[in-house]
Amino acid sequence: MESETQEQLRKQTIRLWRKGKKYLKIADIVGASENAVGKLVRKYKKYGAKSLQAKKTRSPL
């Protein structure tokens, strides 16, 4: 999956969480595990919006 697509899913996850959705419901919507949603929310609470950004990757040689 492209990093930009992953970033969009992370942002959608946080939007749903901020609207009061439960982790299990969010997981069903975005196609992730409940555990992954919980980790992402904890990371967001600790580091803010920058934790949702796509990681810079190197191009293959």
Is there a domain that residue 19 lies in? yes
Q: Does residue 36 belong to any structural domain of this protein?
A: yes
Q: 5: alpha, beta or left, given left = phi > 0 and alpha = psi -120 to 50?
A: alpha
HSE-up of residue 32 (Cα within 13 Å, Cβ side) = 18
Give residue 41's domain range: 3-47
| Whole-number Å distance between alpha carbons of 51 and 54 | 8
User: pLDDT digit string (tens) for 1-53?
Assistant: 577 888 899 999 999 999 999 999 999 999 999 999 999 999 999 998 888 88
Residue 41 lies inside a defined structural domain of this protein = yes
User: Is the Cβ–Cβ distance between 7 and 53 less than 8 Å?
Assistant: yes
**Which pTM does this prediction carry?**
0.80
Number of domains composing the chain: 1
